[in-house]
Amino acid sequence: MKFVRDYIIIFSVLGLLFALLANNVILPIYVNWNDEIRVPSLTHTDLDQADKILKERKLEWVVKDTVFRSDIPEGFIMDQHPEPGQMVKENRKIQLTISLPPEKLEMPDLVAVTERQATIAVEQLGLILVDVQADSSDLYEKTVVMDQSIAAGLPVAPGDSITLTVSLGKRNLKKTMPNLLNKGLDEAVRIMQRKGFRAGNISYTQDPALLPNTVVSQSIDPGKMFPKDQLVSVDLIIIDGF
């Protein structure tokens, strides 16, 4: 009986030692518990804060996606994977979804199109039409756009505001020469066309104190009136681009 009891004690001790070894050495090695880190919550923080938090925990990050939300500041984290509280290994890359505005688009020329066409174009760009003003026009028929608050060709992004001016129809049969001084050449040409004039000869001069391609002289004084149907060309002098 003593012999059997001794064997039982020996096997019990060996079993206990094996259990301790498995629990504290083998199992941690197998599941790598010693290298696991709890994922912190990164939502509603910006990338600088997130980078600092993750570096302290020996974790990394990568941008998985970008989403635009006008009510969330640019660069703030909106979502993450893995989720907060999950256990991951060191150097794991946490995938982040951050708030970023979309790339800028080019504003189209809406002048001379109908109000309906312009409204559709504004909606497709994601712009906010804050107001539609109206004014008489000798050049544009009724309900046709005659001006836009964001000039054609400028960069715009969804959420930007724009105002359109729509023609009420003819007021008289006159057109007035606009003031083109200090305008860029492209802008001056667009203004002339919009007002019923066209560009004539363009000559250049030099003045280092002024911006290149800026109009410094026009052959017809601003404010001078002409019959609406008369073809009038305007000669311009602009600053050489050097």
Residue 21: the pLDDT is 56
Q: Which residue has the higher pLDDT, 116 or 4?
A: 116
pLDDT beyond 80 at 10: no
For domain 102-171, the question of CATH label 3.30.10.20 is answered with yes
- Cα–Cα distance between 213 and 207 in angstroms, integer? 11
Mean pLDDT of all residues in 70-98: 89
Can you tell me the mean pLDDT for 206-210? 86
The 3-class secondary structure across 109-122, one letter per residue, is CCCCCEHHHHHHHH
Other residues' Cβ atoms within 10 Å of the Cβ of residue 19: 10
Each domain of the chain, given as residue ranges in start order, spans: 26-99, 102-171, 174-242
Mean pLDDT across 191-214: 91
Which residues contact residue 6 at a Cβ distance below 8 angstroms, ignoring those fewer than 6 apart? none
Please provide the CATH number assigned to the domain covering 174-242: 3.30.10.20
The per-residue pLDDT for range 97-130, each reduced to its tens digit, is 998 877 788 999 999 999 999 999 999 998 999 9
What pLDDT band is residue 217 in, cutting at 50, 70 and 90?
Answer: very high
Tell me if 26-99 shares its fold with 102-171.
Answer: yes
Residues in the chain: 242
Within 8 A by CB and 6+ apart from 76, the residues are 44, 45, 46, 98, 99
CATH top class, domain 26-99 = alpha beta
Residue 179: strand, helix, or coil: coil
* Confidence bin at 175 (pLDDT 50/70/90): confident
Give the mean pLDDT of the chain: 84
Give the mean model confidence (pLDDT) for residues 144-159.
91
Residue 230 or 177, more confident? 177
pLDDT for the residue 96? 92
Residue range 41-52: average pLDDT? 90
Contact assessment for residue 37 and residue 58, using Cβ atoms and an 8 Å cutoff? yes
SS3 assignment, position 194: helix
Q: What is the pLDDT of residue 27?
A: 46
Residue 177 reports pLDDT greater than 90: yes
